[in-house]
Amino acid sequence: MAGGATGQPKRMSVNPIPLNLNSIGEILFDTAAEGLLIVDHRGVIQLANPRSCELFGYQRGELVGLGVEALVPKRIVHKHRDYRKTYHAHPTKRSMGQGLDLLAVRKDGSQFPVEISLNHFQVDEKKLVMALVTDITQRKQATDDLQRLNQKLEERVKARTRELEDSQRLYRAIARNFPNGTINVFDRQLNYVFVEGKELFRLHVQSQKLVGTSYLDRLDPEIRDTIQQRLEEAFEGRNVSFEIPHRNQHYLISAVGMPNGDQQLDRILVVEQNISQQKKAESDIRQALHKEKELNELKSRFVSMASHEFRTPLSTILSSTSLLSRYNDPKFAERREKHQTRIRNAVHNLTNILNDFLSLEKLEKGIVEVQRSTVEWVPWCKDLVEEMQESAPEGQEVTFYHEGAPVSLVIDVHVLRNILLNLLSNALKYSPKRQAVKLRSRFEGETLLIEVQDQGIGIPKAEQEHLFERFFRARNVTNMEGTGLGLNIVKGYIDLLGGSIHFESEEAKGTTFFVSLPIHPRT
């Protein structure tokens, strides 16, 4: 994984991972102010943004394929490899370098201090780690400078000389120009003794008006106790660093004690840095990667989705084709024509379902056109149930019962057919043998109410809220065929028709879906 002892680091083979970022992700990736590396479980760099190449002194593309240990000092390569393996075994989101002296190695062998934030994710079952690398050379230098200035300030306080005023002016000039934050000095009551920084200009606050007031009074109640507790640790001699949200912004707060002439910590130096833009960039990158993963998953599952939705019409074609050979005699012309019609309808339905799959994005965006026509509900539904029964597993039965007088409705028959085929085929699939699947319906005013009931395995209560989500599959069906898209499509179709769907389910006792559709929609 690491480079050789001499010469250029050894380059390893890489199987490119499909991380094609969308336009927003590409802009963020290429223009990010921080270095971004994506590393696989072997420690091989799979992706590096331009800032990473700049930080480590490599040409664009040279980092890809290197072992990540090529970027750390040789004296800690073995430790780093162990740390990396431990992290891949138990990955968590975490930051490295805060309060530590981490060093990275450039291509020319020079070293520089860094902070590293780690996060993990998975693409196509491949575990990857994303590392955000920050060059803290200037920050570290600034911190060292501030500590030296603080030491000089304390020494001059003892002497009570004119140097105190000079150092204060210098300190204030530096602090006033501190970017994206403030530099503060608090007493033990966390009152302002000193405050400057560009963040004050953003908030339209004058520093002199804050001196002598309480820092805690400026904080929202929900974070006040947390910040007070952490800052009080600095009065105990600890170096404190933590992140916290405040009024739609995100801050990194660092604190260190300031001893007086008697070496007592009666003041603390607190540096607030507004890191909201950095956090937003991290979030945007994660969202872009998640979207890319979701699109890739949709492509890879298309074949299995098609298989799931095509089963019933294909079974209809197969059974009707087999039966046609028995009806060659002219006296069976009516039966032959019936099966030929079913074959035509099934083929037509296959074409429509395929078009729906290919137009899934249109369905989600609400731009699928509805083609409504008038249909006699009860005869149409009986034909559908008869068709389902012919393709049902041996020993299973689909029953239909309509309550009340038959009524016609104006609806997209193709969409309605796909809704019921999906619900009934699911009910058959998840029901044991010799258990009936019941289809019931009735009209209430201008609404058609449909129930599809099975006595199957049911849906675990803890997972029911996710049932209509795309790709969701309950834990008790993971060993059964399915893609987790059927009910998501059903929900989309029902929304398209202006209806609603809900369900009741108990594990090991069965599930009932309740569909409500308007009979004569206004549009």
Q: Where are the domains of the chain?
A: 23-135, 139-279, 364-518
CA atoms of 498 and 516, how far apart (whole Å): 9
Contacts of range 469-477, beta carbons closer than 8 Å, 24 or more positions apart: 471/297, 471/301, 476/507, 477/430
pLDDT of 300: 63
pLDDT of 272: 85
Instruction: Kindly report the number of other CB atoms within 10 A of residue 271's CB atom.
Output: 22
pLDDT of 517: 95
User: Which residue in 331, 436, 340, 448 sits closest to 389, CA to CA?
Assistant: 436
> For the domain 23-135, what is the CATH code?
3.30.450.20
Q: Please give the CATH topology (third level) of the domain spanning 364-518.
A: Heat Shock Protein 90 (3.30.565)
CA atoms of 198 and 178, how far apart (whole Å): 6
Q: Is the dihedral of CA 89, 90, 91, 97 positive or negative?
A: negative
Query: What pTM value is reported for the model?
Result: 0.40
Residues in the chain: 523
pLDDT of 503: 93
Give phi and psi for 485, each to the nearest 5. Answer: -105, -20
In the three-class reduction of DSSP (H, G, I as helix; E, B as strand; rest coil), residue 130 is classed as strand
End-to-end CA distance of the chain: 63
State how far the alpha carbon of 295 is from the alpha carbons of 124, 298, 355, 471, in Å: 11, 5, 18, 12
Instruction: Kindly report the number of other CB atoms within 10 A of residue 142's CB atom.
Output: 15
Tell me whether domains 139-279 and 364-518 share a fold. no
Q: Tell the CATH superfamily of the 139-279 domain.
A: PAS domain (3.30.450.20)
Contact 378, 403 (CB under 8 A): no
At what angle are helices 377-391 and 413-429 packed, to 10 degrees? 40
Cα 456-462-465 angle, rounded to 5 deg: 90
Which letter, b or e, does each residue of 311-347 get, where b requires 16 or more Cβ atoms within 10 Å of its Cβ? ebbebbbebbeebeeebeeeeeeeebeebeebbebbe
Mean pLDDT by 10 residues, the chain (523 residues): 50 59 68 86 89 89 88 89 84 65 88 87 84 86 85 72 56 63 88 84 80 88 90 89 85 88 84 85 85 70 57 71 71 73 71 59 69 92 89 83 90 90 88 87 94 91 85 70 72 90 91 93 67
pLDDT of 99: 55
pLDDT of 347: 74
CA atoms of 519 and 505, how far apart (whole Å): 27
CA atoms of 202 and 393, how far apart (whole Å): 70
